[in-house]
Amino acid sequence: MDPEMNKLLKWSVANSQASVDADGEGSTPNAPAAASTLTPQMINTLFGGPSEADLMRAAMEVVHDKESDLENKLIAFDNFEQLIEGIDNANNLVPLNLWKPLVELLKHDEAEIRRMAAWCVGTAVQNNPQAQDQLVTLNEIPTLVTLATTESNPATRKKAIYAISSAVRNHQAALDALNKSLPEGYPTDKTDAADMDGIDVIMDKLRSHPVEASA
């Protein structure tokens, strides 16, 4: 049985019993409290709404849709970022084939789209070894370094550095990829992914990296 359907069944049974008092009469005062225990996922199951996987796919389609304006793209991207805050949804980026469409947007012409793409990458990989593995496999850490060191939009740079920081902490392969991608002049002795202070040194240098101001 669908886990959400199972939860819904348990909720229904529990609240059917609670709604009858000792005299066998309906007890309405408890209704608001009972309703508050329904989760959005349970409501979606009850009414046949889209799953979170469906919502993730739909959001990415909007962002890639050439007919969609920037405002709608950013709304869809914001929804996508909120969905992948959950580690299960972040890990579903692989079976849903959404990693490639996501990282492609790191090179989008619009700075706000690049910013959101970097933000979503950072959210997906934070404290998530499976997602960190995927980012290394896709070889997108060099792309993030390019954003962090050449991007003229400060907000986009900030999210790129956030994504790098999230990707390399406690993940040796990601830190190794970062060290290979950094420009000259960066510390070469920060090679332990468990060394948070050492990683902070690299992040601080990225934040202070000189770039041309946006026009």
pLDDT at 175: 98
Q: Residues of 55-93 as b/e, b for ≥16 C-beta within 10 angstroms?
A: bbbebbebbbeeeeeeeebbebbeebbebbeeeebbbbb
Taking 80 as the threshold, does the pLDDT of residue 133 lie above it?
Answer: yes
Over residues 166-176, the pLDDT tens digits come to 999 999 999 99
**Average pLDDT of the residues in 144-172:** 98
Taking 80 as the threshold, does the pLDDT of residue 13 lie above it?
Answer: no
**3-state per-residue secondary structure call for 64-104:** HCCCCCHHHHHHHHHHHHHHCCCHHHHHCCCCCCCHHHHHH
> What's this model's pTM, rounded to 2 decimal places?
0.78
pLDDT at 27: 46
pLDDT at 212: 74
Helices (H), the chain: 3-18, 31-35, 40-47, 52-64, 70-83, 87-91, 99-104, 111-125, 129-137, 141-150, 154-168, 172-181, 196-207
**Average pLDDT of the residues in 178-194:** 93
**Dihedral (C-alpha) 181, 122, 156, 68: value to the nearest 10 degrees?**
120
**Average pLDDT of the residues in 48-70:** 93
Lowest-confidence region among 18-22, 56-60, 211-215: 18-22
**Average pLDDT of the residues in 17-41:** 54
Express as a percent the part of the chain with pLDDT over 70: 76
pLDDT band, residue 5 (cuts 50/70/90): low
pLDDT at 186: 92
Express as a percent the part of the chain with pLDDT over 90: 73
Superfamily (CATH H level) for 51-207: Leucine-rich Repeat Variant (1.25.10.10)
pLDDT at 211: 85
Tokens of 146: 């390019």
Measured over the CA atoms of residue 192, residue 196, residue 202 and residue 203, the dihedral's sign is positive
pLDDT at 49: 75
Q: How far is CA 150 from CA 116, 120, 147, 157, 172, in A?
A: 17, 20, 5, 8, 25
Tokens of 185: 């002049």
Distance CA 132, CA 168 (A): 8
